[in-house]
């Protein structure tokens, strides 16, 4: 499959690009500037400039020919204005750009409790709210969507095992396991038009995706 990733230079993004390339997908790795593309080239991906804060028309061109778009970008700055620009408005613009480009499938990395964002401190709430709005836009789009809502992200080693369900207790999960969930979701039709919480657990990822309630 031709897969375009938004946020490829990020800590989850780089795991995702590596795994997608390993699974034989052709990967366009969206980076904010050419200078951030060196690592993805080494992994076998084609770097493309994709800035969620820039002209959405450019995103349409970037997505043309892609079967799948996966958005794992997130604002670098927790300030609500930056979060609204990237995690809400930029993410929504990317969904609409994917529709216009004829993309079939769209996966979005959200956050646990984005579907009930009335918790945490002011900054956490603003992130959850921004993600709730862009998740809603994706659900209402014409795209075949999957929304993954991870608990607190860690940089621990991958385990290949998670706990995954419609709603879960608060938890943590490694970025590498989250990337593996996103890649495995491409091969599991039961993840189409569904949203899941994911935290660390002991169920092999393909089984967790195939049996999630």
CA dist 168 and 17 (Å) reads 27
Torsion, Cα 119 199 133 65, to 10 degrees, reads 160
Toward ligand NAP, which CB reaches closer, 71 or 191?
71
Q: According to CB under 6 A, which one of 12, 66, 84, 132 is a site residue for ligand NAP?
A: 12
Helix/strand/coil for 117:
coil
Confirm if 167 and 146 have CB atoms less than 8 A apart.
no
Toward ligand NAP, which CB reaches closer, 159 or 210?
159
Q: Does 139 bind ligand NAP (CB under 6 A)?
A: no
Binding mask 76-95 for ligand NAP (x = CB under 6 A): x---------x---x-----
Q: Does 109 bind ligand NAP (CB under 6 A)?
A: yes
Confirm if 43 and 102 have CB atoms less than 8 A apart.
no
Q: Does 201 bind ligand NAP (CB under 6 A)?
A: no
Toward ligand NAP, which CB reaches closer, 166 or 189?
166
Q: Does 111 bind ligand NAP (CB under 6 A)?
A: yes
Q: Does 75 bind ligand NAP (CB under 6 A)?
A: yes
Q: Does 47 bind ligand NAP (CB under 6 A)?
A: no
Short-list 205, 201, 171, 211, CA closest to 23: 205
Confirm if 100 and 56 have CB atoms less than 8 A apart.
no
Q: Does 152 bind ligand NAP (CB under 6 A)?
A: yes
Q: According to CB under 6 A, which one of 38, 41, 46, 53 is a site residue for ligand NAP?
A: 53
Report in angstroms the alpha-carbon separations of 29 from 6, 18, 34, 59, 98. Answer: 7, 10, 11, 12, 15
Contact set with ligand NAP (CB under 6 A): 6-7, 9-13, 32, 36, 50-53, 72-76, 86, 90, 109, 111, 150, 152-153, 175
């Amino acid at each position: 499959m031709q897969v375009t990733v938004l946020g490829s230079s990020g800590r989850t993004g780089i795991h995702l690009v590596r795994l997608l390339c390993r699974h034989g997908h052709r990967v366009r790795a969206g980076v904010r500037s050419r200078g951030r593309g060196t690592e993805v080239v080494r992994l076998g991906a084609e770097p493309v400039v994709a800035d969620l804060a820039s002209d959405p028309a450019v995103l349409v061109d970037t997505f043309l020919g892609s079967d799948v778009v996966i958005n794992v970008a997130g604002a670098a700055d927790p300030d609500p204005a930056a979060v609204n620009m990237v995690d809400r408005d930029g993410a929504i613009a990317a969904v609409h750009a994917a529709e216009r480009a004829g993309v079939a499938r769209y996966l979005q990395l959200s956050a646990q409790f984005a579907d009930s964002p009335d918790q945490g401190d002011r900054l956490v709430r603003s992130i959850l709210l921004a993600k709730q709005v862009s998740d809603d836009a994706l659900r209402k789009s014409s795209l075949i969507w999957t929304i993954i809502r991870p608990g607190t992200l860690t940089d621990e080693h991958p385990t290949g095992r998670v706990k995954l369900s419609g709603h879960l207790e608060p938890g943590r999960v490694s970025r590498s396991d989250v990337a593996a969930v996103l890649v495995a979701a491409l091969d599991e039709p039961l993840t189409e038009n569904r949203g899941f919480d994911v935290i660390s657990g002991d169920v092999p990822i393909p089984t967790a995706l195939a049996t999630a309630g």
